[in-house]
Protein backbone atom coordinates (compact mmCIF):
# COMPACT_ATOMS: atom_id res chain seq x y z
CA UNK A 1 0.00 0.00 0.00
CA UNK A 2 1.19 3.50 -0.80
CA UNK A 3 0.61 5.89 2.09
CA UNK A 4 -0.37 9.49 1.47
CA UNK A 5 2.31 11.84 2.69
CA UNK A 6 2.57 15.59 2.58
CA UNK A 7 2.69 16.96 -0.98
CA UNK A 8 5.93 18.38 -2.28
CA UNK A 9 6.32 20.73 -5.24
CA UNK A 10 7.91 17.94 -7.27
CA UNK A 11 5.26 15.27 -6.62
CA UNK A 12 1.97 14.97 -8.45
CA UNK A 13 0.12 14.30 -11.67
CA UNK A 14 0.54 16.31 -14.86
CA UNK A 15 -0.53 15.94 -18.44
CA UNK A 16 -3.14 16.99 -20.95
CA UNK A 17 -6.77 16.42 -21.81
CA UNK A 18 -7.18 15.95 -25.56
CA UNK A 19 -9.90 15.41 -28.18
CA UNK A 20 -9.85 11.78 -29.35
CA UNK A 21 -10.52 12.74 -32.98
CA UNK A 22 -8.15 15.67 -33.45
CA UNK A 23 -5.58 15.20 -30.69
CA UNK A 24 -5.96 18.88 -29.81
CA UNK A 25 -5.86 19.97 -26.19
CA UNK A 26 -9.18 20.85 -24.57
CA UNK A 27 -9.10 24.16 -22.67
CA UNK A 28 -11.10 24.73 -19.48
CA UNK A 29 -11.68 21.01 -18.84
CA UNK A 30 -11.97 19.91 -15.23
CA UNK A 31 -9.47 17.41 -13.81
CA UNK A 32 -10.00 15.74 -10.43
CA UNK A 33 -7.59 13.44 -8.59
CA UNK A 34 -9.19 11.55 -5.72
CA UNK A 35 -7.88 9.09 -3.14
CA UNK A 36 -9.51 7.99 0.12
CA UNK A 37 -7.84 10.90 1.94
CA UNK A 38 -7.11 13.53 -0.76
CA UNK A 39 -9.10 15.31 -3.43
CA UNK A 40 -7.54 17.94 -5.69
CA UNK A 41 -8.91 19.55 -8.83
CA UNK A 42 -7.87 22.02 -11.47
CA UNK A 43 -8.89 23.43 -14.85
CA UNK A 44 -6.84 22.83 -17.97
CA UNK A 45 -4.90 25.61 -19.70
CA UNK A 46 -5.60 26.96 -23.18
CA UNK A 47 -3.62 24.02 -24.60
CA UNK A 48 -5.33 21.37 -22.44
CA UNK A 49 -2.45 21.03 -19.98
CA UNK A 50 -2.84 20.55 -16.25
CA UNK A 51 -0.74 20.05 -13.11
CA UNK A 52 -2.02 18.61 -9.83
CA UNK A 53 0.36 18.75 -6.86
CA UNK A 54 -0.69 15.79 -4.70
CA UNK A 55 1.10 13.64 -2.13
CA UNK A 56 2.28 10.16 -3.01
CA UNK A 57 -0.56 7.68 -3.14
CA UNK A 58 -3.01 5.94 -5.43
CA UNK A 59 -5.59 8.11 -7.19
CA UNK A 60 -8.59 7.88 -9.43
CA UNK A 61 -8.26 10.68 -12.01
CA UNK A 62 -11.31 12.07 -13.76
CA UNK A 63 -11.44 14.54 -16.67
CA UNK A 64 -14.47 16.11 -18.29
CA UNK A 65 -15.71 19.12 -20.22
CA UNK A 66 -18.84 20.23 -22.07
CA UNK A 67 -19.80 18.30 -25.23
CA UNK A 68 -17.42 15.40 -24.44
CA UNK A 69 -17.78 12.08 -22.64
CA UNK A 70 -15.73 12.11 -19.46
CA UNK A 71 -12.72 9.85 -18.91
CA UNK A 72 -11.70 8.11 -15.71
CA UNK A 73 -8.38 6.46 -14.99
CA UNK A 74 -8.42 4.38 -11.79
CA UNK A 75 -5.36 3.35 -9.79
CA UNK A 76 -2.96 6.09 -10.89
CA UNK A 77 0.14 5.75 -8.71
CA UNK A 78 2.06 8.83 -7.58
CA UNK A 79 5.47 8.31 -5.97
CA UNK A 80 7.27 10.81 -3.76
CA UNK A 81 9.60 13.14 -5.66
CA UNK A 82 8.23 12.12 -9.07
CA UNK A 83 5.67 13.34 -11.55
CA UNK A 84 3.15 10.91 -12.99
CA UNK A 85 2.40 11.88 -16.60
CA UNK A 86 -1.18 11.21 -17.65
CA UNK A 87 -3.01 12.17 -20.84
CA UNK A 88 -6.79 11.73 -20.79
CA UNK A 89 -8.48 11.35 -24.18
CA UNK A 90 -12.12 12.46 -24.38
CA UNK A 91 -14.60 11.37 -27.05
CA UNK A 92 -16.92 14.07 -28.43
CA UNK A 93 -20.61 13.57 -27.77
CA UNK A 94 -22.51 12.72 -30.95
CA UNK A 95 -23.98 15.96 -32.32
CA UNK A 96 -27.35 14.26 -32.79
CA UNK A 97 -27.43 13.29 -29.11
CA UNK A 98 -27.05 16.89 -27.96
CA UNK A 99 -30.37 18.48 -27.11
CA UNK A 100 -31.51 21.17 -29.48
CA UNK A 101 -32.59 24.52 -28.17
CA UNK A 102 -36.27 24.40 -27.34
CA UNK A 103 -38.37 27.54 -27.17
CA UNK A 104 -41.20 27.41 -24.65
CA UNK A 105 -43.93 29.89 -25.32
CA UNK A 106 -45.83 31.04 -22.28
CA UNK A 107 -48.98 33.02 -22.53
CA UNK A 108 -49.68 35.16 -19.48
CA UNK A 109 -53.04 34.98 -17.80
CA UNK A 110 -54.82 38.19 -18.80
CA UNK A 111 -58.17 37.43 -17.23
CA UNK A 112 -57.64 39.26 -13.93
CA UNK A 113 -58.64 42.89 -13.50
CA UNK A 114 -55.05 43.89 -12.65
CA UNK A 115 -53.75 42.24 -15.84
CA UNK A 116 -56.42 44.02 -17.90
CA UNK A 117 -55.37 47.38 -16.38
CA UNK A 118 -51.70 46.69 -17.24
CA UNK A 119 -52.60 45.75 -20.82
CA UNK A 120 -54.62 48.97 -21.26
CA UNK A 121 -51.78 51.07 -19.83
CA UNK A 122 -49.20 49.40 -22.10
CA UNK A 123 -51.33 49.83 -25.22
CA UNK A 124 -51.92 53.54 -24.56
CA UNK A 125 -48.16 54.29 -24.49
Q: Please indicate whether residue 13 or residue 2 has the higher confidence score (pLDDT).
A: 13
Distance between terminal CA atoms of the chain?
A: 77
Give the architecture-level CATH label for domain 12-94: Sandwich (2.60)
Distance CA 22, CA 5 (A): 38
pLDDT at 31: 98
Asked if the model's pLDDT at residue 105 lies above 60, the reply is: yes
- For 3-13, write each residue's pLDDT tens digit: 455 556 789 99
- For 26-72, write each residue's pLDDT tens digit: 999 999 999 999 999 999 999 999 999 999 999 999 999 999 999 99
Amino acid sequence: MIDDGPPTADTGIRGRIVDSQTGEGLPDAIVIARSPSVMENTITSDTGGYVLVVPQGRYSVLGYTDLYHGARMPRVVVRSGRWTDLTLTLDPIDAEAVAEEVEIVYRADTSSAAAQDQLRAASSE
